[in-house]
Amino acid sequence: MSFQNLGLSEPVVHGAQRMGYSDPTPIQLRAAPVILAGRDLIASAQTGTGKTAAFALPILSKLDHHEPRIRCLVLEPTRELAMQVETAFRDYMRFMHTEVTLIHGGVGYGRQREDLKRQCDVVVATPGRLLDLMQQSAVDLGGLQFLVLDEVDRMLDMGFLPDVRRIVEKCPKERQTLLFSATIPEEIQRLSAWCLRDPERIEIGARRSPAETVTHALYPVALDQKFDLLLTLLERTNYDSVLIFTRTKDGADRISRQLKKNNHSVATLHSNRTQNERVDALEGFKAGRYEVMVATDIAARGIDIAGVSHVINYDVPQHPEDYVHRIGRTGRAQTVGDAFTIMTAEELPHVLDIERFIGQKVPRKKIEDFNYVYTALFNEESVMSSLKGAKGVRTHKGMRFGASRRRR
């Protein structure tokens, strides 16, 4: 099935072709007919499946021409995602006369108020700033036809669902609502029961399985040696671009500083950075000005960075879903990617959770000629029993190893 046969409008098909898309992806194939038929939709699909185009192309086909009112509202959890989706709309509507605008926090209100006054056809927004502007009566949603709630599980994690509900309450009852979420827990089911009408459900791929093109590996190491191991991994890996995830913002700053000292070109992305710094990091990394980007989970969801050849988890994610999202940054759109996770003894329980969640065992790897301080890490049974024995007993270097601790 080609884009032409999907029932999309001609300018939209041209827009997709100009992006270099030759065939629709599975979610595009399944979502387009539902959206074109005017049905509400709940779709669960992994990131990187082409989900933005899956809703943008049919919506644009139905918007057709410019009208001075907001006809489509897309809510996104983060500024980065909002920017990415706005850019996608702009690309797809290249051969149309419709307009799109972006509303998010962290920048002045002036331009956003002006854009809203002009009444763009499509508004892509984060919930907080949009609600602010709505409370100032700067937004008229009276002519809304399409409401897209994207990455809803992320909005749930970030505590945005009450804001989302307030926004939905101000939308006209007669509208088409599309909800996208990697997972659909109970709270999201309740939200969808409240704001969708007889929705069609689409599930693409096994929700829990990470991108199939990614190869995974775990690198056990003592806490003191994590950074040395990271440097060694970077030295020994033939990468084009590496995304390194840390659990905390301070951790991201610290790793970035240390990597810079070791002559790596590094961008840093987390929510304490200014909007300009975030844009510079993301753009610079995409353009290849920085080979390495160190980020917290803010970058893990949905951000589309083509050509990330490697993801390195400097910390093991505490939630298995985050592991899937993080490694989803590589191996996108059929390219192969490697996901390395550095793990310390006390993180082993999280590793086991992740393996249960993804339904596969991740191979443990040892770097030849790396000067490991502890090799007991590779004996996981004894690590687990030490962890149980030492429950609650932590040193500044992490969990104690008791009898199994052995120096090489």
Interface with ligand AMP, residue 329, by CB under 6 A: no
Q: Select 52 or 330, whichever has its Cβ closest to ligand AMP.
A: 52
- Scan for tokens 């051969």, then name that residue: 95
- In this structure, is the dihedral angle defined by the CA atoms of residues 323, 329, 335 and 338, taken in order, positive or negative? negative
Residue 388 CB, shortest distance to ligand AMP, in Å, is 41
- SS3 state of residue 354: helix
Q: Does 51 bind ligand AMP (CB under 6 A)?
A: yes
- Give the one residue of 50, 58, 220, 331 binding ligand AMP; rule: CB under 6 A: 50
Please, what is the minimum distance in Å from the beta carbon of residue 147 to ligand AMP? 18
Nearer to ligand AMP, 82 or 255 (CB): 82
The secondary structure of 273-331, three-state, reads CCHHHHHHHHHHHHCCCCCEEEECHHHCCCCCCCCCCEEEECCCCCCHHHHHHHHCCCC
Binding-residue pattern over the window 264 to 303 for ligand AMP, x denoting contact by CB under 6 A: --------------------------------------x-
Buried b / exposed e over 2-18, threshold 16 CB at 10 Å, is: ebeebebbebbbbbbee
> Who contacts 391 (Cβ-Cβ below 8 Å, separation ≥6)?
none
Contact present, 42 and 202 (Cβ < 8 Å):
yes
Among 11, 15, 24, 317, binds ligand AMP (CB under 6 A): 24
Residue with tokens 């809510």: 75
CB nearer ligand AMP, residue 24 or residue 199? 24
Q: Give the nearest distance from C-beta 47 to ligand AMP in angstroms.
A: 5
User: Residue 275 and residue 294: Cα distance in Å, rounded?
Assistant: 16
Residue with tokens 């093109």: 213
Among 53, 75, 100, 316, binds ligand AMP (CB under 6 A): 53
Residue 47 within binding range of ligand AMP, rule CB under 6 A: yes
- What does the block give as tokens for 269? 């992305």
Is residue 35 within 8 Å of 58, Cβ to Cβ?
yes
**Residue placing its CB nearer to ligand AMP in the complex, 29 or 229:** 29
Answer for which of 9, 44, 52, 330 binds ligand AMP (CB under 6 A) is: 52
Which of the residues 25 through 44 are near ligand AMP (CB under 6 A)? 25, 28
Tell me which stretch binds ligand AMP (CB under 6 A): 18-26, 171-179, 272-280, 359-367: 18-26
Residue 247 in contact with residue 315, Cβ under 8 Å? yes
| Contact call for residue 370 and ligand AMP (CB under 6 A) | no
- Chain residues in the site for ligand AMP (CB under 6 A): 19, 21, 24-25, 28, 47-53, 302, 304, 306, 332-333
